[in-house]
Amino acid sequence: MKISTFSKVLAGPILMVCLMLFQTPVTISQNLVITENQTQQEAEQMILDIFVGTGVQVFNVAYVGFPRASGSFVGNTGLGLEDGFLMTSGLAYLADGPNDMPSHGYANGSNGDPDLDKFNGGLSYDACVMNFDFIPFAKYITFKFSFASEEYPEYAPPNNSSYNDKFGFFLSGPDIEGPYSNNSVNIATLPNSSTVISINNVNAVTNQEYFVSNWQPVVNNNIQYDGYTTLIDIVAAVEPMETYHLKLAISDGGDGIYDSGLFFKAFSFKSTDIIGTPEKKPDEWYGLRLTPGIGPSRFTVDLGQQPGKDIRYSVFASTGQCTRSGQLPWSQTFTLDLGQMPAGLYIVNVDVDGRKQSQKLILQ
């Protein structure tokens, strides 16, 4: 985030004018702050810093597209999420409200995407694409997002149009055979359904329970878009400890105007063995906490107030290699000794009678 840099600019009007010409564009409304990425590297680091939650190891992040089409946000979007990152088919900062234009957009000049070209709605333009590999530590991956577009309502049912912006979440890996690149499948579907989420499939006529109209009247002035989906959970089954690839992509369709955007909830990309776990206060449900213990590379693991029969634990390095594992009789706390292990990022997994939780740990 570059919010602090922008805040300092406010101290001097002349300095503000000069710096605004060269620094990262930041939009600040009453409820929302959006910071655009300026480089490919910033966009890639954004995934590691903002998207990755517990139970997954993410690597080989690669961004394709105009850097300023993506960015981070803090504050109230009105979409059911307050912090995260966004990918757009135009410029990220144009997603900020108020919603005072019915057709906001910017043709950023990026190429289209071959997978999105396979969707209905003509060729893709201004594609914003994020690729990364990951290793899940549990049976399911999940994340939360909302799709919003300026093409609502003019180019959505009951109106028929070929000018449909497109997006997809393309998952590939072991035993996945799909029609898209790398034999991937599109997991951007409605919950408990094979219906692909799109402007034609989620709108005021079709699957209305997942749609919010934001034009005449405007109900959410925190963003610019004229319609959007409710906050949706994406869930996909995976094999723990195998390597997968995920591609997040959005583009204009049929032409390069009327922008659309994807809002992703911060730290929501994670793996879990249980679907439908409580979203709020997961630590109270599992009780797992790590705190520094006595001595170097020693940590106290606190399992909370949920007793069980035994404890199984494992520690994975960022390479995916298991570096520690063991089984202990039940105790609310135990000491985890990581002595002689090199500095770096580790994932600690704890299983108490089938209740599983993971947590990141950095050795310095």
pLDDT interval class at 345 (50, 70, 90): confident
pLDDT in tens, 134-178: 999 888 999 999 999 998 998 888 887 767 889 999 999 999 999
* Shared domain check, 43 and 145: yes
213 lies in a domain?
yes
Task: Give the Cα separation of 76 and 97 in Å (integer).
Answer: 11
pLDDT above 80 (res 66): yes
338 lies in a domain?
yes
Contact criterion met (CB below 8 Å) for 250 and 262:
yes
DSSP-assigned letters across all residues of 193-251: S-PBP-TTTSSSSSSGGGEEE-SSS---TTB--SEEEPPEEEEEE--TT--EEEEEEEE
What domain range includes position 336?
282-363
Domain edge (last residue) among 228, 251, 272: 272
pLDDT in tens, 206-226: 999 999 999 889 999 999 999
* Shared domain check, 314 and 258: no
Task: Give the Cα separation of 186 and 188 in Å (integer).
Answer: 6
* Shared domain check, 326 and 180: no
* Shared domain check, 268 and 286: no
* Confidence (pTM): 0.71
HSE-CB for 224 with a 13 A CA cutoff: 24
234 lies in a domain?
yes
* Shared domain check, 291 and 263: no
277 lies in a domain?
no
pLDDT above 80 (res 344): no
* Shared domain check, 171 and 47: yes
pLDDT in tens, 236-281: 999 998 999 999 999 988 665 788 999 999 999 999 876 654 343 3
* Shared domain check, 136 and 183: yes
177 lies in a domain?
yes
Contact criterion met (CB below 8 Å) for 86 and 260:
no
Lookup: tokens for 350: 């704890």
Task: Give the Cα separation of 70 and 89 in Å (integer).
Answer: 9
* Shared domain check, 227 and 183: yes
90 lies in a domain?
yes
Per-residue pLDDT, averaged over 343-354, amounts to: 76
Per-residue pLDDT, averaged over 179-192, amounts to: 95
DSSP-H helix ranges across the chain: 3-9, 13-20, 40-46, 114-117, 282-286
* Shared domain check, 190 and 53: yes
Residue 188's identity, in one-letter code, is: A
Residue 60's identity, in one-letter code, is: N
Per-residue pLDDT, averaged over 335-352, amounts to: 77
The CATH number assigned to the domain holding 295 equals 2.60.40.3080
pLDDT above 80 (res 127): yes
Domain edge (last residue) among 222, 251, 272: 272
pLDDT above 90 (res 45): yes
Per-residue pLDDT, averaged over 16-37, amounts to: 58
Lookup: tokens for 165: 């912006």
* Closest C-alpha to 238, from 47, 55, 48, 52: 55
Cα distances from 286 to residues 48, 302, 351, in angstroms, run 24, 10, 10
pLDDT above 90 (res 234): yes
43 lies in a domain?
yes
Domain edge (last residue) among 272, 292, 307: 272
* Shared domain check, 342 and 207: no
| Largest pairwise CA distance in the chain | 67
Task: Give the Cα separation of 195 and 89 in Å (integer).
Answer: 22
* Shared domain check, 241 and 98: yes
User: Pick the residue with more confidence: 210 or 359?
Assistant: 210
207 lies in a domain?
yes
* Nearest-10 Cα torsion for 208, 209, 210, 215: 50
HSE-CB for 246 with a 13 A CA cutoff: 23
* Shared domain check, 259 and 323: no
Lookup: tokens for 274: 């249980």
Mean pLDDT of the chain: 80
Domain count, the chain: 2
